[in-house]
Amino acid sequence: MTPTEIPFRSASELAAAIRDRDVSPVEAVDAYLARIDAVGDRLNAYITVCANEARADAKLLADEAAAGNFRGPLHGVPVGVKDQIHTAGIRTTDASKLRADFVPDADATVVARLKAAGAVIIGKTNMSEFALGDPISSHFGPARNPWDTNRNPGTSSTGSGSATAGFLCATSLGEDTGGSIRGPAANCGLVGIRPSWGRVSRAGVDGASWSVDTIGPISRTVADCALTLGVIAGHDPKDRYSRREPVPDYLANLDGGVRGLRIGVVQELMGGHGLSLDDRSRDAVAAAVAVFRELGAEIVPVSLPIAPLTGPIVRTITSTERVSLNPEWLRERFEDYHPNTRVAFAVGNLIPGQVYYKALKLRAMVRRQVLQTFREVDLLLQSTSTGPAGLLSDEPPVVSSKEMAAAALREGSFRGLYSLSGCPALSIPCGFTDGDGGNGEGALPLALQIGGPHLGEAVVLRAAYAYEQATDWHNRRPPAL
């Protein structure tokens, strides 16, 4: 494996090559840093590249490997970490001017677990300011989509999607509130899973919405996603909301297939209902459903009438909870926020208590309906997004218009069932636009979302793997990179 080939191997393949001593951790890190030097400026995927720290860690890991000692399944593998996740001695900015110089003195639990498994933190990835979900609000400039640098890489884990799709890290961590793992995975042609609420510790993570936030992987393959999730999942006494149930061996369970599974297709999210689903996404999801049927799953229509309303419900809850985190900043440093963040936070401050309470009651209703549905089916299928990645604005900061806000709520309704129910959901590529040049558009990824019962990550990953192996979408690379 030559240095230029290393970044294009999956995390699982690279980990195996390091175990077999075909590649050293030093070679892996140097190869990724060289690629970041070559194309990183085009994508702006990182806020901080940890070159010196990564090289020092790689040298130590190489010495351990030479002695036959391997810390875990990610030994020597370079990983990107979203910049709201604390890293000891390395700044954690939340993509904001207000946190530009903040350096934590301890690692978040997920970072400590990555390191214990042998991973090398190669950089802190770009994001929407304070995980707000606006693609242009980063104080360090927006991250770019490797499939088309004029396009949105997905919010708010913008850099994790961009870096992983651009082969600037082997796998990455994002944070998902209303869809901030699934959106970047969808826009960038990747696999990203929002785990069950409580499956992964949030200790040491700057939150966006305490009752909705989750940490999870954004990866290039289902196996990489399973590998990364297996490393970071599990109970943590530092997070009182983390679950105590044992974590399955996600990798070992991937080969089970879907034969005999009963899989529902959410009818309200297949077009109509005011959600403006792009015809290309609808057709791609329908074709993916046919693949599952051919693989032996029983496909049934499922109705969840509340699904089209879940975007506004999620946004009401998260907007209210978000502004409660640092109210003194809103009072004393309002001008230091990006203009779009200012508007969003100001609006969140104006939401009446009774509206928040009603949203919580509606969340309980959604959760009941989703959990009841998973007594009748094993999985749910739907589109991850309204359509392919949209254009980024190159204009000066633009305050969100009513039309942009409405579009964000529609987008959120494709992901809200799982944000509100706390159930796991995975996004996987299921096709591409034809790239005929219309509206300046090249081929862009389209995405399928697979939802499962609470703590049902194993069956979600198993189904995703069966679909991935039956299709070729994961083998495509951004043409310009």
DSSP 8-state assignment for residue 22: S
Residue with tokens 């005011």: 274
Is the C-alpha dihedral spanning 428, 430, 435, 439 positive or negative? negative
Count Cα neighbours of 313 within 13 Å in the Cβ-side half-sphere: 27
Is the C-alpha dihedral spanning 213, 219, 223, 228 positive or negative? negative
DSSP-derived secondary structure for 226-258: HHHHHHHBS--TT-TTS--SPPP-TTTTGGG--
Is the C-alpha dihedral spanning 88, 196, 184, 78 positive or negative? positive
Q: Which helix (H) or strand (E) holds 31?
A: helix 25-43
Strands annotated E in 44-203: 46-49, 78-82, 120-125, 171-176, 191-194
- Indicate the residue type of 330: L
- Residue 393: Cβ-neighbour burial (10 angstroms; 0-12, 13-18, 19+): middle
Active site residues: 82, 156, 180
Q: Which helix (H) or strand (E) holds 465?
A: helix 457-470
Output the CA–CA distances (angstroms, integers) from residue 358 to 250, 312, 365, 380, in the order listed: 37, 12, 11, 26
Instruction: Give the strand order in the sheet containing 298-302.
Output: 46-49, 120-125, 78-82, 171-176, 214-219, 191-194, 425-432, 445-451, 379-383, 262-266, 298-302
Dist CA 173 CA 108 (whole Å): 12
DSSP helix, strand, coil percent of the chain (3-state; round to 5): 45, 15, 45
